[in-house]
Each structure stands twice: as structure tokens, then as C-alpha cells.
Amino acid sequence: MTTDTIPIKKIKEINRDELVAPGTPLCAGCGGLEALRLAQKELGENVLFTNAAGCFTLLSVYPFTPFRGSWLYTSMSSPAAAAQGIRDALDVRMDKRGLDRSEDMQVMVIAGDGSTYDMGLSPTSAAIHRGLDFIYFCYDNEGYGNTGFQLSAASPLGSATQTAPPTRLHPSGTEAGKKDLFSIWAAHHPPYIATVSPREPLDLINKVRKAQALKGPRLFISLAPCPTGWGFDPRQMHLIAKLAVDTGIFPLKEYEGGTVVHTRVPRKRQPVETYLELQKRFRHLFVPEKREDIIAAIQKSVDDYWGPYE
């Protein structure tokens, strides 16, 4: 079935199951999509998703969706504001308009790092400050992936993007480093924050289960290895995701009750070079000559992070 074969006036007559797309038009090997799939399976069907413009917008193209829950598309800056309006409307209807509490829904924001770290951060801060009851799922592929992979506040030191390419004057590519979104959220004292990876499904599911039992603003920052933006074979997604954790570049941790706990500490961290050299976005650090200084700077930032925990 395609949208071309469905007259608009017939949409309401079609069985709901027939409107569920058999697949998605996203890139093969998308790590963020696998992480979201695992999270959604744990959350269940009674979820309303507010989606910021980005790669995952293509998940729900009218009238198709791979989700059983409802889907609301928003601008890149406003998914948290939309979640706030939906949450308030549900609460008002249940309190004053007779909506049965069995009809209540979980509200979940789905947004990339461009929206989460940059354009949507201000309204999200306001939503956290208000204590809004919602789950925020950020698929972090460390760049504006939907428009050609430009620099974002999540782009790591030394990575190449369309707007921060390595040049003769700036051979390192991205120079600013990655914004610490985890700490920014933690400064608001929300009930729960967690980082997750598609390569650690049990860790992810356990964290979603824990967050689901809580109320208030809850954040998941999911590593989203991106074959097109990072430059690797889609079949290597799980290897890339594993190395991000094993090298310590992407720590798996959670914040609850003012305390941060690492849910997986690499017993023997691998050199960051094993992670960098598999990705085209870091190729300029190895050819035409190896940039030992930049690689060492990346390694030092990881070592400095893990030093207090080892």
C-alpha cells in the first residue's frame, strides 16, 4: 500500500493496522533508530511523541508510521514546548473535563542533537524548570545530519563536518569540542537523566524501565552512530557503538536524586585511536600524516574524565 493509492477521503475507513509502515526510510545502520526502537518497546503503545525537525521526522510520513502511539511533528526549536502543551491539556481534561485517567498518555520528545543541544535548549530548560512530566529522547549523531551533517554543539573535538572541514589553517576540523548536555540538565535537578547506547540493550531497557516509573522531566542521551555523517560501513554500527563505550569516549551513566552513577565502567579502556580510525570524519587525523597532537588531546580529555573513577 502507498499513499498514492489511498484517496484522502478513504483514510478514515482504513484499518489502523494497515497504516503501520513495514519499514522506515532512514539510513541503514542508524544507531539512534535502534536505540529508539528498544526504548519504544519498553514504553509500550500508550505514548504521544513530539518530534523536532530532523532525521527522525521521516519516521512518520502521513499516513504511515512505524509506531502504535500518536505522533506530532514540530519545528526544531519547539518539541519540549509542544510536549508541555500536550501534558497540560491532558492534565486539565482529566482534572476538569471528565477524561478518564485510563486515557492518559506518556509524552515523549524525540529530537536530534541539533535541536537538543542548540535551538531547542531554551524552551526545554523552561519545561524542566516547571517540572513538566515528560520523557526526552535525544538521538545524538553529533551533527546536523538531516541537512548534510553540519557542525552542532555536540560535534566532538577533531571531527570533520560540512561547516568545520579540516583545512591548512585548521587541520583539526571541529575545535570547540562537545557541549556537556548531561551536566546542563543535571543543573536543573530533574528526577532522571541517562546516557544509553544501541550496543548495550539491557542497560538501555533497564534505564527506560526506571525512568518510566518516575514523574517529571527525564532525559535520555542516546549515542547514534551515523554511517553517512561519520563515514563507516552500516554493518559496522555495532562495532562503532561498542568502541565508543570501550574507549570511554561515551560514558554510560545515570543521574538520579542528585547522584551520578556509571552503569558500565570499561575494565580496561581501549585507546581512542581504535574508535577514531574507523570513521571518515576523523580520517584527516591519520592521513596524509598522523596528527599525534590532536589524537593525544582527545585521549587526554577521556583520561581526565575517567581519572576520578579509576
Asked whether residue 62 carries a pLDDT value surpassing 90, the answer given is no
Question: Do residues 159 and 219 lie in contact, with contact meaning Cβ atoms separated by under 8 Å?
Answer: no
Question: Do residues 147 and 114 lie in contact, with contact meaning Cβ atoms separated by under 8 Å?
Answer: no
Q: Where are the alpha helices (DSSP H) in 146-233?
A: 181-186, 201-212
Q: Which three cell numbers stand for residue 41?
A: 518497546
Average pLDDT estimate for 179-204:
97
Q: Is 25-309 a CATH 3.40.50.970 domain?
A: yes
Per-residue model confidence (pLDDT) at position 239: 97
> What confidence category does residue 293 fall into, taking pLDDT thresholds of 50, 70 and 90?
very high
Q: Which SS3 state, helix, strand or coil, does residue 127 take?
A: helix
Residues in a beta bridge with 62? none
pTM: 0.89
- Provide the angle, in degrees to the nearest 10, between the axes of the packed helices 237-246 and 31-43: 80
Residue 277 exposed, middle or buried by CB count within 10 Å (0-12, 13-18, 19+): middle
DSSP 8-state code for residue 171: T
What share of the chain in percent tops pLDDT 90?
68
Name, in order, each residue with C-beta under 8 angstroms of 187's C-beta and a sequence gap of 6 or more: none
Average pLDDT estimate for 234-258:
97
Q: Which three cell numbers stand for residue 266?
A: 570499561
> What confidence category does residue 5 fall into, taking pLDDT thresholds of 50, 70 and 90?
very low
Q: Which three cell numbers stand for residue 103?
A: 486515557
pLDDT in tens, 206-241: 999 999 999 999 999 999 999 999 999 999 999 999
Per-residue model confidence (pLDDT) at position 24: 53
Per-residue model confidence (pLDDT) at position 18: 43
Asked whether residue 4 carries a pLDDT value surpassing 60, the answer given is no
